[in-house]
Structure 1
Amino acid sequence: MTGRDKERQGGLAMHDFDGYRTLGQPHEPVDEREAGALLVRDYGLDGARLTRIATERDDTFAVTVQGERSPRYLLKIEHPAEDYGTVRMRARALRMLERRAVNVPVTRLVPCSDDGMIARYDAGGRTRWATLTTFVPGRIVSSLPGRPSPALLAGIGDRLARIQRVLADERGYADRLGRILWDVRLLPAIAQDVLPMIDDATARRAIEQAAATYESVAGHIDALPQQLCHGDFHPGNITVRDDRPDEIAGIIDFGDMHMMPAVCDLGTALCYLVDDVLADPLEPCRIALAAYLNVNPDFDRGLLPLLMPVMQARAALVVLLPLLAERRSGTSPEHYLFRPESRIVRLRLLQSLSDGASDSFAGA
């Protein structure tokens, strides 16, 4: 994000955000035949079987090559509004992770036949950009029965820190505040716009409280240095193998990468680990945080009090953005990680845990 973006942040409304405008821009979906032709032309993959995967705003397909039964690749054809620079940033980031974090099992970028990173797709007078990545094996952690083990929680914190360390060196991308709506810094503006859609008074109060809590620390967060972050690191984007449920097998979905303070990326990840069944619902967060700090010992412990406001902000976005996506683009709220009725429960739980606590992660 540029300095000018920072200066204007307080005056931006949701309608100013690129991410908001993109949600309302319809596009002609790419069918399997057209996507298959792209695979032949740009990747030399003939006879592949494509299966569409539901996404918010692009055309994504699981690709099974001829003679195999399981998908080997993932083809993503970006929304027409996604500019080349952003797609290139994501491709460069995946290449960096492949080369510098070889033990972190992120999805890998597959080069085009000409060794390029990105393919071009032209249709209807518009240009779209496409990438092919490896299909990550395993089962999505959020779909598993039971709760993540301490070893898996530690793995989540460890891998997040390692990814952040690599992505911190990606400095060639000039991001724009509001390009990604899941950025916790946008909560006050998004809440102002979407709250009228919520009839339940208790839910409205919880979101208003989350926005006020975030605004109380926004000045501190805005003053922090920024780096490229995964932005959506949670159990819905992490896989494990059936025979090794305590080990991370794969990390997927780098589509929400954006520039922000690392503490926002960390708080986003921890938000999804809180467990209301436990006597200490924050215990999973503390396990992941300890592993994160072990890999990243230079992390400023003075920023730990910011984690709960960030976690609450993310939990509020989990309530608001599915409603916004349904209104703007027709995306079903059921597409998202949590059931609608559980989203507000998570936010209220986080708020109850922080009531009267000056620092929920003291001593980490």
Structure 2
Amino acid sequence: MMLETASTDTAALSTAAPDLSPAALERLAAARYGIEGVATALGGERDQNACIETADGARYVLKISNPSEQSSVVDFQIAALDHIAQRAPDLPIPRVLRTLDGENTAHLTLPDGSLSMVRMLTYLDGVQIKHTERTAAQRCAMGSGLARLDLALQGFDHPGAHHDLLWNASAAHRLRDKMESLPDPAKQQLARRFMARFEEHVLPRLHEVRTQVIHNDYHLYNVLVASAEQERVTGIIDFGDMLHAPLVSEVATAAAFHMTGSDDPFAGPAQFVGAYQAILPLTPLEQDIVADLMATRHLITALISEWRAVRYPHNRAYIMRHNPAAWEALGQLADLPRQDARDRLLSDIRHRSIA
């Protein structure tokens, strides 16, 4: 079963996203949801996403799933959003709208004859953190926000949550073959070094850590803040990479995106992890491997983006948006002993304990 789900995920990353015209999207929204408006494209890796804006200014997100996406995974994502809305109604997440027939999804035959699932979500206002000036207070708000999200997801499960997503840092060893296609020998050597670190220090210990459903993509494009209060989170979006996985992988994945934006590449991640742990502490074992997994997230970002950019050059800008930072971070981590990386990542926690 593991091999089947892994190959399905690879197929989703190897299959082009749907490409319906704005007019077709507008007709779809009106026919299935009774929402008439103008469609504007939104970015996406596997799915086609669009904003539907009505005449009175109301906005919605229309998602057309990749034809290779398993229906159980789409059902899982919808069930998770509904669960969070009930468990923690104050968390700023999208809400799932029902079709005119009262269904969670609609089914659509694409022009090439393939079948796809359609979803409509509420639109969240705010500025992507990527486009703001990063501050310690903002990082702390992100860290505490993710901890609250993970607390809301504790105890939730679904059959579709156990798909083996390639964007799963705890399964990085499945990407070993992607290293062979790296054209730059220096990058290939760097990738091999961090793959070996993952396989030696992380992989044999993962059976001992906590697992649950995680967001798995909590980065600077997927968290929104108020334009006038850029330390106040107004939206958590893009739940498309959710899965059941080690909780420490959630923290490491999110922390990885805070290595840029300051002179000390560990300052931002340490502030983020410290705020997360103030609400949802990591265990001693999780603390020991969180920095290794942070490096592993950079590794899989580099490998998957390089692989997909070659396959889909028309979507290269979107696919490669995290690639330069990933290679930069791996370079910064290359000569640092793993214990030193761990101590620097956890430094904010220790300062809080002393205080």
- Give TM-score, length-normalised by structure 1: 0.86
TM-aligned CA distance change 1:168 to 1:77, over 3 Å: same
Judge conservation of contact 2:50–2:62 (CA < 8 Å) in 1.
Answer: yes
Does 2:332 align with 1:349? Answer: yes
What is residue 207 of structure 1 aligned with on the other side?
Answer: 191
Q: Distance in 1 between matches of 2:302 and 2:311?
A: 15
CA drift at 1:44 = 0.8
Does 2:15 align with 1:25? Answer: yes
Amino acid at match of 1:139: V
Does 2:135 align with 1:152? Answer: no
Q: Distance in 1 between matches of 2:271 and 2:262?
A: 16
The 5 Å alignment of 1:39-54 reads 39-46=29-36, 48-54=37-43
Which one of the candidate residues 122, 125, 130 is aligned to 2:118? Answer: 130
Does 2:71 align with 1:96? Answer: no
CA drift at 1:310 = 0.5
CA drift at 1:170 = 1.9
What's the secondary structure of 1:137's corresponding residue? coil
Does 2:149 align with 1:166? Answer: no
Does 2:45 align with 1:62? Answer: no
Q: Distance in 1 between matches of 2:320 and 2:138?
A: 19
TM-aligned CA distance change 1:125 to 1:60, over 3 Å: same
Does 2:172 align with 1:182? Answer: no
What is residue 8 of structure 1 aligned with on the other side?
Answer: none
Judge conservation of contact 2:169–2:293 (CA < 8 Å) in 1.
Answer: yes
The 5 Å alignment of 1:320-335 reads 320-330=303-313, 332-335=315-318
Judge conservation of contact 1:237–1:251 (CA < 8 Å) in 2.
Answer: yes
The 5 Å alignment of 1:293-312 reads 293-297=277-281, 299-312=282-295
Q: Distance in 2 between matches of 1:231 and 1:317?
A: 13
TM-aligned CA distance change 1:358 to 1:31, over 3 Å: closer
The 5 Å alignment of 1:214-225 reads 214-216=198-200, 217-225=202-210
What is residue 317 of structure 1 aligned with on the other side?
Answer: 300
TM-aligned CA distance change 1:342 to 1:263, over 3 Å: closer
CA drift at 1:261 = 0.7
Q: Once superposed, what is the RMSD of the aligned Cα atoms? A: 2.5
Q: Distance in 2 between matches of 1:238 and 1:166?
A: 17
What is residue 195 of structure 1 aligned with on the other side?
Answer: 179
Which one of the candidate residues 226, 230, 241 is aligned to 2:211? Answer: 226
TM-aligned CA distance change 1:350 to 1:32, over 3 Å: same
Q: Distance in 2 between matches of 1:25 and 1:113?
A: 30
Q: Cα deviation per residue 1:29-54 (whole Å; 9 max; x = unaligned)? A: 222222222211221112x1001223
What's the secondary structure of 2:232's corresponding residue? strand
Amino acid at match of 1:149: T
What is residue 75 of structure 1 aligned with on the other side?
Answer: 62
Q: Distance in 1 between matches of 2:250 and 2:322?
A: 23
Judge conservation of contact 1:187–1:317 (CA < 8 Å) in 2.
Answer: yes
Q: Distance in 1 between matches of 2:275 and 2:339?
A: 26
What's the secondary structure of 2:231's corresponding residue? strand
How many corresponding residue pairs?
A: 345
Q: Distance in 1 between matches of 2:142 and 2:339?
A: 28
| Runs of 5+ consecutive residues of structure 2 not aligned to the other structure | 350-355
CA drift at 1:22 = 2.2
Looking at secondary structure, tell me which structure has more helix per residue.
2
Which one of the candidate residues 131, 151, 156 is aligned to 1:143? Answer: 131
TM-aligned CA distance change 1:275 to 1:33, over 3 Å: closer
TM-aligned CA distance change 1:25 to 1:274, over 3 Å: closer
Amino acid at match of 1:165: L
- Give TM-score, length-normalised by structure 2: 0.88
Q: Distance in 1 between matches of 2:137 and 2:89?
A: 20
What is residue 9 of structure 1 aligned with on the other side?
Answer: none
TM-aligned CA distance change 1:230 to 1:346, over 3 Å: same
What's the secondary structure of 2:125's corresponding residue? coil
Identity of aligned residues (%): 21
